[in-house]
């Protein structure tokens, strides 16, 4: 039973990683497609490749995710992790269906916390607060402000240049900024799945040191598996959310698209390497799009759409937790 549950958790985790890819594919490429800097198919290939590469560049976020909860060892602990994953997947698919760019990160963390609470497992609340809640609030604010300032700087630098030539130049630059953002997405989001798989393996007694502590390095097959799953998901595309990010919030020109993508990538790298915080790629790029777009005029941003997105953000953590808690109840009754 324990081995079967380990396999089930790994499969479900990789499926979550796949849904993360197509749910968040729009993060890296929606603005480039909207500004016609890249065609949809080229943009998807670029995003898929850079997602894979980004997933290979670090493990710090993975270790943070694996430290969010402390499930009991053995079968019951694996049920907790499986329930957390199912809660995250259900909420991801729900928000994808309605075209809302919610956070796969907070779906996953919310699911794990919800399942842990339902089972009476230990939740490391300082980690949740320091690495999840504070970055969840701060990163969109930083993304909005930085994108606003970067775009103002660009407007001032190029204020006397030919607008047509400026747009053509930034369309080319968006290839680089979109690739950088996709790399940051792989660096952040694929690691979260790695962390969950590693948590399941250590819960089942694998990859422990002689002292019974988790090993410091993740197995190579876990890294490659997570990188491949998120890349395949990204290539399959997330057209519903792409439309929301690319056009419904605001119709971006190439310079504003470049500003949003560059700021988003910078925030992702900083939080991954300096704070080891599993931040939401969705939150960051969406707020950066709003910040860059607001330099036209604040009324140019469709704040009604923005409110709907923020509402989905607020709901994500508790709703994924509630679904995960219900899943734990069902799984615990079946597996016992």
Of residues 56 and 297, more confidently modeled = 56
* pLDDT at position 160 over 90: no
Residues 237, 246: Cα–Cα separation, whole Å: 14
* pLDDT at position 336 over 80: no
Per the prediction, the chain carries an average pLDDT of 86
* pLDDT at position 184 over 60: yes
Residues 104, 189: Cα–Cα separation, whole Å: 8
Say whether 123 sits in a helix, a strand or coil.
Answer: strand
Beta carbons of 104 and 160 less than 8 angstroms apart: no
**204-247 per-position pLDDT tens digit:** 999 998 888 888 889 999 999 999 999 988 887 655 555 555 45
Say whether 209 sits in a helix, a strand or coil.
Answer: coil
**93-124 b/e with 16+ CB inside 10 Å = b?**
ebbbeebbbbbbbbbbbbbbbbbbbbbebebb
pLDDT of residue 265: 94
């Amino acid at each position: 039973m324990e081995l079967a549950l380990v396999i089930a958790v790994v499969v479900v985790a990789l499926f979550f990683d796949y849904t993360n890819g197509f749910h968040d594919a729009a993060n890296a490429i929606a603005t480039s497609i909207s500004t016609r800097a890249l065609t949809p198919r080229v943009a998807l290939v670029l995003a898929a490749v850079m997602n894979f590469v980004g997933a290979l560049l670090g493990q710090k976020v993975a270790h943070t995710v694996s430290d969010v909860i402390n499930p009991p060892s053995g079968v019951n602990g694996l049920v907790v992790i499986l329930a957390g994953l199912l809660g995250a997947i259900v909420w991801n698919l729900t928000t994808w269906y309605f075209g809302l760019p919610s956070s796969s990160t907070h779906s996953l963390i919310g699911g794990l916390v919800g399942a842990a609470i339902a089972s009476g497992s230990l939740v490391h609340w300082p980690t949740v607060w320091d690495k999840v809640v504070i970055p969840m609030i701060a990163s969109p604010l930083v993304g909005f402000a930085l994108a606003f300032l970067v775009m103002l700087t660009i407007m001032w630098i190029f204020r006397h240049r030919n607008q047509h030539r400026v747009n053509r130049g930034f369309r080319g630059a968006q290839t680089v900024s979109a690739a950088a953002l996709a790399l940051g997405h792989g660096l952040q989001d694929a690691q979260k799945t790695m962390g969950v798989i590693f948590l399941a393996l250590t819960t089942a007694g694998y990859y422990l040191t002689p002292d019974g502590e988790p090993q410091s390095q993740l197995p190579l097959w876990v890294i490659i598996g997570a990188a491949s799953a998120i890349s395949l998901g990204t290539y399959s595309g997330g057209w519903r959310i792409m439309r929301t990010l690319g056009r419904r919030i605001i119709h971006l020109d190439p310079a504003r698209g470049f500003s949003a993508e560059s700021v988003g990538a910078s925030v992702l790298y900083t939080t991954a390497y300096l704070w080891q915080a599993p931040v939401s790629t969705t939150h960051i790029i969406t707020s950066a799009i709003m910040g860059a777009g607001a330099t036209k005029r604040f009324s140019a941003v469709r704040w009604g759409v923005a409110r709907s997105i923020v509402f989905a953000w607020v709901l994500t953590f508790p709703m994924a937790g509630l679904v995960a808690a219900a899943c734990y109840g069902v799984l615990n009754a079946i597996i016992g």
